[in-house]
């Protein structure tokens, strides 16, 4: 009972120029959508992939981030023997004291950025399970040796294994490169915590501690214990929660991106509407004939709606293809929450592509709706008279 689809497809192809330009417009809007969503996806995963649900971040009470926190040595000593903390094969607690500081590092191009140098002990590699050395070896204590996150390699000067980096108040030899699963750790340099303490001249203290919990630990109880114990008196939260709070920028960008895409989508809908109205107007006689032959008004509505939808989805596919090259393109931005530069890569995930096509489909339906209704409501006699 339906008007055959080939009628619509061929009608679209016959009005080549008009179809092409409308499709072009929709394709561009979809491309913008993909770019923005890919950026958000990339940012989101760089930030959120950083956190592990079985790790806990401990900072000073009232601190917002680890970079504006201070934990005393005795507090850490009291902390690290808590029973909820997992131990390694030798019985040592997987508690990693850390001192991340922002230092100015020169990029390959010459300008400088604030980059996080994280003072750690070797136990950090066991606590941060997503961090793996992919080249070279772990640094040895007290030798100003460092391992570099792979997102920094090539971007910043002297980041190859064996090179000497200049930051802070001294020289640091790169002995290894590490991969951190795309998380923000990949934009960091890791050094011996004592070297970092000496370099910043702020005395012997830590900024925060990362603890690995035993499976099945009551997290809330642990958090309360850390806060209430007078010897510890610190603030704790799971790593995943910690990084969620940090993603304020990513969320703002997602909101902004969606707004831009939606507003552009509205513009595209108007364009599609224009084209479809023109199509309906040019095919008035055809519509009258189809109705006269016995096709129901609903069939006419469905047919034009389908035509608009087909056009939009085809354009959507084109738009996705246009935007695809941005996948994997990595850049960095200044995360003003941590006050440092973080690298991330645009990620055109299957979810993003699907959302883009859905977006295109919605534009097609919205753009085609009113014109299709007009086609449906045409009086047969009037329509035929125009012939």
Partner 1 sequence: MDEKYAIEIDHVTRVYKRDEFEVRALDDVTLKVPEARFVAIMGPSGSGKTTMLNLIAGIDHATSGRVAVGGEEITSMRERDLAAWRARHIGLVFQFYNLIPVLTAFENVELPLLLTHLRKAERRQHVETALKVVGLADRMDHYPRQLSGGQEQRVAIARAIVTDPTIVVADEPTGDLDAKSAEEILNLLTELNRQFHKTIVMVTHDPRAERYVDTVYRLDKGILAGIERGKSAAQPAAAGASA
Partner 2 sequence: MKFTMLVLKNLLRSKRRTFLTVFSIAVSLFIFSALVSFPTLAREILADRASSLRLAVHNKAGVTYSMPEAYKQRIAATPHVIAVVPESWFGGIYHEVNDQFPNLAVDPDQVDLMWDDWGISKAAFEDFKRLRTACLVSDGTMKRFGLHVGQQIQLRGTFYPFNVTLNIVGVMNDKAPPNFLFFRRDYLEEAAGRPGFVSMFWVRADKSENIPQIIASIDEQFANSMAETRSESEAAFMGTFAQGYRAFFELAEILGLIVVLTIGLVAANTAAMSIRERRSEIAIMRSIGFRSGTILGLLLGESLIIGLSGGILGCASAYVILKVFAVGSPAIGISSLRMPPIVVVEALAAACLIGLLSAWFPARSAARQNIVDALRLVA
- Which partner in partner 1, partner 2, none is near 295 (CB below 5 to 8 A by kind)? partner 1
Which residue of 163, 285, 331, 379 would you call a contact of partner 2, by CB under 8 A? 331
Query: What span, in angstroms and rounded, lies between the C-alpha atoms of 95 and 127?
Result: 7
Q: Does 327 bind partner 2 (CB under 8 A)?
A: no
Residue closer to partner 2, measured from CB, 2 or 282: 282
Q: Does 69 bind partner 2 (CB under 8 A)?
A: yes
Q: Does 285 bind partner 2 (CB under 8 A)?
A: no
Draw the binding track, 90-109, toward partner 2 (x: CB under 8 A; -: no contact): -----------xxxx-----
Closest distance of CB 132 from partner 2, Å: 27
C-beta of residue 170 within 8 angstroms of C-beta of residue 198: no
C-beta of residue 165 within 8 angstroms of C-beta of residue 177: no
C-beta of residue 66 within 8 angstroms of C-beta of residue 246: no
Q: Does 219 bind partner 1 (CB under 8 A)?
A: no
Query: What span, in angstroms and rounded, lies between the C-alpha atoms of 116 and 111?
Result: 16
Residue closer to partner 1, measured from CB, 15 or 225: 15
Q: Is the four-CA dihedral 186, 96, 102, 51 of positive or negative sign?
A: positive
Query: What span, in angstroms and rounded, lies between the C-alpha atoms of 269 and 271?
Result: 5
Q: Does 196 bind partner 2 (CB under 8 A)?
A: no
C-beta of residue 278 within 8 angstroms of C-beta of residue 11: no
Residues in 280-309 that interact with partner 1 by CB under 8 A? 285-286, 288-298
Closest distance of CB 1 from partner 1, Å: 6
Q: Does 274 bind partner 2 (CB under 8 A)?
A: yes
Interface with partner 1 (CB under 8 A), residue total 27
Q: Is 39 exposed, middle or buried (0-12, 13-18, 19+ CB in 10 A)?
A: buried
From 24-32, 45-53, 130-138, 212-220, span contacting partner 2 (CB under 8 A): 24-32
What Rg do the C-alpha atoms of the chain give, in angstroms? 29
Which residue of 4, 62, 110, 216 would you call a contact of partner 1, by CB under 8 A? 4
- Which partner in partner 1, partner 2, none is near 18 (CB below 5 to 8 A by kind)? partner 2
Query: Per-residue DSSP letters for 326-368?
Result: GTT-EEEEEETTTTEEEEEE----HHHHHHHHHHHHHHHHHHH
* DSSP 8-state class, residue 242: H
Residue closer to partner 1, measured from CB, 183 or 303: 303
- Which partner in partner 1, partner 2, none is near 310 (CB below 5 to 8 A by kind)? none
Residue 247 has, within 13 A of its CA and on its CB side, a CA count of: 25
Query: What span, in angstroms and rounded, lies between the C-alpha atoms of 337 and 98?
Result: 18
Q: Within 67-207, where are the H helices?
A: 73-80, 124-127, 193-200
3-state secondary structure 210-236: EEEECCCCCHHHHHHHHHHCCCCCEEE
Q: Does 260 bind partner 2 (CB under 8 A)?
A: yes
Tokens found for residue 308? 């608009």
Q: Does 17 bind partner 1 (CB under 8 A)?
A: no
Residue closer to partner 1, measured from CB, 135 or 286: 286
Interface with partner 2 (CB under 8 A), residue total 59
Q: Does 238 bind partner 2 (CB under 8 A)?
A: no
C-beta of residue 225 within 8 angstroms of C-beta of residue 236: no
> Which residues of the shown chain bind partner 2 in the complex (CB under 8 A)?
17-18, 21-22, 24-25, 28-29, 31-32, 35-36, 39, 60, 62-64, 67-70, 101-104, 111-114, 167-169, 199-202, 245, 248, 253, 260, 263-264, 266-268, 270-271, 273-275, 277-278, 331-336, 341
> Which residues of the shown chain bind partner 1 in the complex (CB under 8 A)?
1-4, 6-7, 10-11, 13-14, 285-286, 288-298, 380-381, 384, 387
């Amino acid at each position: 009972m339906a008007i055959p689809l080939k009628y619509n497809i061929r009608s679209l192809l016959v009005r080549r120029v008009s179809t092409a330009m409308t499709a072009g417009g929709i394709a561009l809007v979809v491309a913008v959508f993909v770019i923005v969503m890919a950026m958000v996806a990339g940012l989101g995963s760089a930030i959120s992939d950083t956190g592990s649900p079985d790790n806990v971040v401990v900072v000073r009470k009232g601190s917002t981030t680890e970079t504006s926190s201070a934990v005393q040595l005795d507090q850490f000593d009291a902390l690290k023997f808590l029973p909820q903390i997992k131990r390694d094969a030798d019985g040592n607690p997987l508690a990693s004291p850390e001192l991340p500081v922002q230092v100015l590092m020169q990029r390959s191009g010459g300008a400088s950025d604030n980059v996080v140098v994280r003072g750690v002990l070797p136990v950090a590699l066991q606590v941060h399970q997503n961090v793996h050395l992919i080249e070279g070896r772990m640094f040895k204590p007290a030798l100003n040796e460092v391992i570099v996150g792979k997102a920094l390699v090539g971007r910043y000067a002297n980041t190859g294994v064996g090179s000497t980096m200049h930051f802070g108040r001294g020289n640091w030899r790169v002995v290894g490169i590490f991969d951190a699963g795309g998380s923000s750790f990949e934009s960091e340099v890791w050094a011996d915590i004592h070297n970092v303490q000496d370099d910043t001249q702020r005395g012997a203290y830590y900024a925060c501690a990362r603890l690995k919990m035993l499976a099945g630990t009551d997290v809330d109880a642990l958090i309360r214990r850390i806060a209430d114990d007078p010897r510890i008196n610190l603030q704790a939260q799971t790593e995943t929660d910690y990084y969620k709070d940090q993603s304020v920028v990513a969320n703002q960008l997602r909101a902004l991106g969606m707004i831009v895409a939606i507003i552009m989508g509205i513009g595209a809908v108007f364009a599609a509407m224009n084209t479809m109205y023109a199509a309906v107007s040019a095919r008035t006689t055809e519509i009258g004939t189809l109705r006269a032959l016995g096709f129901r008004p609903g069939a006419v509505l469905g047919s034009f709606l389908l035509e608009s939808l087909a056009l939009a989805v085809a354009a959507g596919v084109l738009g996705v293809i246009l935007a695809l090259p941005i996948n994997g393109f990595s850049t960095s931005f200044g995360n003003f929450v941590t006050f440092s530069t973080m690298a991330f890569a645009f990620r055109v995930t299957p979810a993003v592509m699907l959302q883009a096509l859905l977006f295109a489909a919605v534009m097609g339906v919205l753009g085609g709706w009113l014109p299709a209704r007009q086609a449906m409501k045409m009086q047969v006699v009037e329509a035929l008279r125009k012939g």
